[in-house]
Amino acid sequence: MIGLFDSGLGGLTVSREVLRQLPGYDTVYFGDTARLPYGSKSPEVIKRFAVQGTDFLLSHGAKAIVIACNTMSALATDEVRARAKGVPVFEVVSPAVQRAAAVTGGRVGVIATRGTINSNVYVEQMAAHAPKVKVHGQACPMFVPLVEEGMARRPEAASIANEYLRPLRLRKIDTLVLGCTHYPMLKSVIAKAAPGVRLVDPAQETVASLKRYLKENPKFAAGLSKTDAHKFFVSDLNPHSQKLASNWLGRDVLLQKASVENARALSR
Ligand code: DGL
């Protein structure tokens, strides 16, 4: 079972990639919709939530964990790894940095939550990986609510995107990392606001790295269940999210309500 978790439904962009790139593998998803957004919360709180999400996935039999959230990847990867005790953990930031470094002419923009931008994780990882590449970050706090409210195709989304991307256009970026797992849902709006700029989707890169790992570790891959079963849990549920989730994944999705508070007991 591959476990994925996010603050809300945005991590389903990563689940969608698992379905596409690794068809047949069973998955369990947890979206912490009751406590979304994470992007404006303090690192301490995000770390605590990330540990609870990890316990929840382990208690549901996850044998590999994907942190399907840039904010948690930026701020809590070490905590998730420590908690996962040997279960391999995949995060979304480094695969995106590697891809951006490979395709850019030298000017990369990163759009993300405030938490991710303030963590400086993209600037630091790029400096270590490709020191000549300049990275310009832009927090886009309105994007997550637009996506969670199913407003990605509304004209308001286009004008907000235009506003957020103006500073990056002025910096003449040639590549743009969609540094939040919700943002691929706004891909066409973002592409219009950044004409001629190459978009990097961390969801695609992360699942590609998981796929490589499975290929390089065939014994481990053989131990993962493969019955095309998928479970989706959220910490708060409304009929609206049920519909959105099914639309995004292009299949009927049954979201089930679950609490993460007592997951630790279950995972023991
Ligand atoms: N989807 C999350 C990310 O990738 C953030 C959304 C939120 O602010 O909770 O950063």
Map 73-138 to HEC letters.
Answer: HHHHHHHHHHHHCCCCEECCHHHHHHHHHHHCCCEEEEEECHHHHHHCHHHHHHHHHCCCCEEEEE
In whole angstroms, what is the distance from residue 3 CA to residue 16 CA?
13
56-99 pLDDT, tens digit each: 999 999 999 999 999 999 999 999 999 999 999 999 999 999 99
Distance CA 213, CA 142 (A): 35
Q: Is 181's C-beta closer than 6 angstroms to any atom of ligand 1? A: yes
Check pocket membership of 5 for ligand 1, CB cut-off 6 A: no
pLDDT, position 27: 98
Contact (CB, 8 A) for 4 and 66:
yes
Q: What is the pLDDT of residue 192?
A: 97
How high is the pLDDT of residue 44?
97
Ligand 1 pocket test target in 29, 69, 90 with most atoms within 8 Å of CB:
69
Q: Quick check: 265 pLDDT over 50? A: no
Q: To the nearest whole percent, how much of the chain has pLDDT over 70?
A: 97
**What is the average pLDDT score of the chain?**
95
CA distances from 75 to 10, 43, 157, 252 (A): 17, 6, 27, 32
Q: What is the pLDDT of residues 5-21, one digit of tens each?
A: 999 999 999 999 999 99
From 70, 93, 121, give the residue whose CB has the most ligand 1 atoms within 8 Å, as the site to mutate. 70
Nearest Cα neighbor of 57 from 94, 74, 32, 36 is 32
Give tens-digit pLDDT for 186-230. 999 999 999 999 999 999 999 999 999 999 999 999 999 999 999
Provide the 8-state DSSP code for 197: P
